[in-house]
């Protein structure tokens, strides 16, 4: 949510930002909120004047009563009553206008960073840099579900019976490898000075509205029937929500956290949810990183954070690249975002395995998360980034580490989590 002062002082900048995001249907909202804000401020001024007048009149009443001028005092009391009635009306009108303004402000997108490329959708995202040499095998790389089948590591049929499409059982060494990757990601971030957290996996609607746009919520979140609770789509949601309505001492910043959680997503409109693999699913596990910091430090943290993910994947012997998300691909709260994509030797192309985002003060304004320092109180900046999410990371590892004979080499950094095992040998051909 942007600062309403920006609409008051430079509404054309807000409109131009909407155009850059190809959301022209939202342009009238800027004028609408401007008019509502003018009404609100006029009412506030009237209310302040009436309160000041009431104080003056109350003093007069005291004087008139002491002078025994009861009739005049009664007339002044009547005016005070009228003032009070009007003040009550104004407060009700202010409450209605405040809610209307907030609903519109929640829909107006955050101002994107000047460095963001302009484009309509993810097809116009821009490659930044490649890390590691993309592998070209001298044999045909099997589909990841087939690789998992050779080590008896995947059962989607049973999951279909228990839960439906988009769910799965991971078993044996596949499940162990999945856990090893998450654990390695956790320990890597702890080594970078991040505090490890396991958060709640369900959050209330006021937190949901604070951390994401309504459109994102509709496409992603599962609602718990009969309760004001939603299953989280990523631990960022409950991690940022933890600081709702808090004022943080400036000397405690930056707050750097890494969190584990299962993640639940509806994947509304997603293609391939019924495919036989585990690329697009309703439930997965993820290690996340969260930073809350001073505004002037957020871009530095943004660049540190995506580099952590690149390092982790390179340590897993997986080539990756970074993509700058264009304006049309940015969620409304994001100012700048990049995706980390892993190389698929089977498809000979990259696919998304993580995303790093700077939301500046958008979430902080929605959730009233502030910092207090020598110069006063201000909204801090929030950032989030995927450390490692599996099964997508597992798919990348399998494809990049499978050998011609079907064995799967285990990267050195994961071997301690696998009991020292250096490779996984197929159980069946």
What is the average pLDDT across 7-18?
96
* Closest C-alpha to 388, from 178, 170, 211, 240: 178
Q: Alpha helices, DSSP H only, in 163-212?
A: 172-191, 205-211
Return the sign of the alpha-carbon dihedral for residues 147, 148, 151, 156: negative
Same structural domain for residues 257 and 331? yes
In a domain, 114, yes or no: no
Give me the pLDDT at residue 131, please. Answer: 97
Do 333 and 394 belong together in one domain? yes
How much is the average pLDDT of 117-140? Answer: 95
- In this structure, the answer to whether residues 85 and 150 fall within a common structural domain is no
402 within domain boundaries: yes
Task: Say if 115 falls within a structural domain.
Answer: no
Distance CA 203, CA 220 (A): 14
pLDDT band at 271 (very low <50, low <70, confident <90, very high): low
Task: Check whether residue 88 and residue 128 sit in a common domain.
Answer: no
| 217: nearest Cα among 136, 148, 207, 261 | 207
Task: Output the pLDDT for position 241.
Answer: 96
DSSP conformation class of 125: -
H-helix or E-strand containing 354? strand 349-358
Please identify, among 105, 134, 152, the residue that sits at the C-terminal boundary of a domain.
105
Do 101 and 142 belong to one domain? no
In a shared domain, residues 202 and 285: yes
Mean pLDDT of 336-365: 96
Is residue 148 located within the same domain as residue 198? yes
Residue 403: what pLDDT? Answer: 96
Residue where a domain stops, chosen among 58, 73, 105? 105
- Is 179 within the bounds of a domain? yes
Any domain includes 117: no
pTM of the model: 0.89
Q: Is residue 420 part of a domain?
A: yes
Residue 429 placed within a domain: no
Q: Give tens-digit pLDDT for 298-336.
A: 999 999 999 999 999 999 999 999 999 999 999 999 999
Least confident of 263-267, 346-350, 364-368, 418-422: 263-267
Neighbours of 196 (CB within 10 A): 13
Quick check: 274 pLDDT over 70? no
Which of 87-96, 98-107, 185-194, 209-218 shows the lowest per-residue confidence on average (mean pLDDT)?
A: 209-218
The CATH code of the domain that includes 22 is 1.10.287.40
Average pLDDT over the chain, rounded to an integer: 94
Summarize the confidence of residues 210-228 as an average pLDDT.
86
List of residues 6+ apart from 319 with CB closer than 8 A: 130, 131, 132, 133, 134, 135, 342, 343, 400
Q: Read out DSSP for 8-45?
A: HHHHHHHHHHHHHTT-GGGHHHHHHHHHHHHHHHHHHH
Residues 127 and 100 in one domain: no
Residue with tokens 């003056």: 56
Tell me, yes or no, whether 22 and 90 share the same domain: yes
Query: What CA–CA distance (Å, rounded) separates 83 from 60?
Result: 15
Gap between the Cα atoms of 77 and 72, Å rounded: 9
Q: How many CA atoms lie within 13 A of 4 on its CB side?
A: 19
| Whether pLDDT at 268 is above 60 | no
Residue 272 pLDDT exceeds 70: no
Domains contained in the chain, number:
2
Residue 134 within a domain? yes
| Residues 6 or more apart in contact with residue 311 via CB below 8 angstroms | 188
Q: Do 201 and 298 belong to one domain? A: yes
77 and 165 share one domain: no
* Angle at 403 (CA atoms; ends 399, 404), nearest 5 degrees: 115
pLDDT at 213: 79
Above pLDDT 70, what percent of the chain?
A: 98
- pLDDT at residue 346 above 90? yes
- Predicted confidence at residue 3, as pLDDT, reads 94
Provide the token pair at 68: 């025994």
CATH of the domain at 412: 3.30.930.10
Averaged pLDDT for residues 107-129: 96
Q: What is the pLDDT of residue 236?
A: 94
Domain boundary among 44, 74, 105: 105
Whether residues 208 and 237 share a domain: the answer is yes
Residue 269 has pLDDT above 70, yes or no: no
pLDDT, residue 67, reads 83
**93: domain range?**
4-105
Contact between residue 267 and residue 166 where contact means Cβ atoms under 8 Å apart: yes
């Amino acid at each position: 949510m942007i600062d309403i002062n920006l609409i008051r002082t430079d509404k054309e900048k807000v409109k131009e930002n909407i155009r850059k995001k190809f959301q022209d249907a939202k342009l009238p909202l800027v004028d609408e909120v401007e008019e509502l804000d003018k009404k609100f401020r006029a009412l506030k001024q009237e209310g302040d004047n009436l309160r000041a007048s009431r104080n003056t009149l109350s003093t007069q009443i005291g004087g008139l009563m002491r002078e025994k001028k009861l009739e005049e005092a009664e007339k002044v009391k009547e005016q005070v009553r009228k003032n009070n009635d009007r003040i009550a009306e104004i407060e009700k009108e202010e409450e209605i206008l405040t809610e209307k303004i907030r609903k519109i402000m929640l829909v107006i997108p955050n101002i994107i960073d000047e460095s963001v490329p302009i484009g309509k959708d993810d097809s116009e995202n821009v490659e930044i840099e490649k890390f590691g040499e993309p592998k070209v095998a001298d044999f045909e790389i099997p589909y990841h579900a087939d690789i998992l089948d050779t080590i008896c590591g995947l059962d989607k049929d049973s999951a279909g019976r228990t839960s439906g499409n988009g769910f799965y059982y991971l078993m044996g060494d596949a499940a162990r490898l999945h856990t090893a990757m998450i654990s390695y990601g956790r320990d890597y971030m702890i080594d970078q000075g991040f505090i490890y957290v396991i958060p709640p996996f369900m959050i209330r609607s006021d937190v949901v509205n604070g951390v994401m746009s309504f459109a994102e919520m509709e496409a992603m979140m599962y609602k718990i029937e009969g309760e004001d609770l939603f299953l989280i789509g990523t631990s960022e949601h409950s991690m940022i929500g933890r600081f709702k309505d808090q004022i943080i001492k400036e000397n405690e910043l930056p707050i750097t956290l890494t969190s584990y959680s299962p993640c639940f997503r509806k994947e509304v409109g997603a293609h391939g949810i019924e495919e036989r693999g585990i690329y697009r699913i309703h439930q997965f596990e993820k290690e996340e990183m969260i930073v809350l910091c001073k505004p002037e430090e957020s871009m530095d943290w943004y660049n540190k954070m995506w580099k952590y993910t690149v390092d982790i994947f390179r340590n897993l012997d997986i080539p990756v690249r970074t993509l700058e998300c264009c304006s049309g691909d940015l969620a409304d709260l994001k100012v700048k975002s990049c995706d980390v994509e892993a190389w698929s030797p089977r498809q000979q192309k990259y696919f998304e395995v993580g995303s790093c985002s700077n939301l500046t003060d958008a979430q902080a304004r929605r959730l009233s998360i502030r910092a207090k320092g020598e110069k006063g109180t201000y909204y801090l900046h929030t950032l989030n980034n995927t450390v490692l999410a599996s099964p997508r990371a597992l798919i990348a590892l399998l494809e990049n580490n499978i050998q011609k004979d079907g064995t799967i080499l285990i990267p050195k950094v994961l071997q301690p989590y696998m009991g020292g095992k250096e490779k996984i040998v197929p159980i069946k051909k």
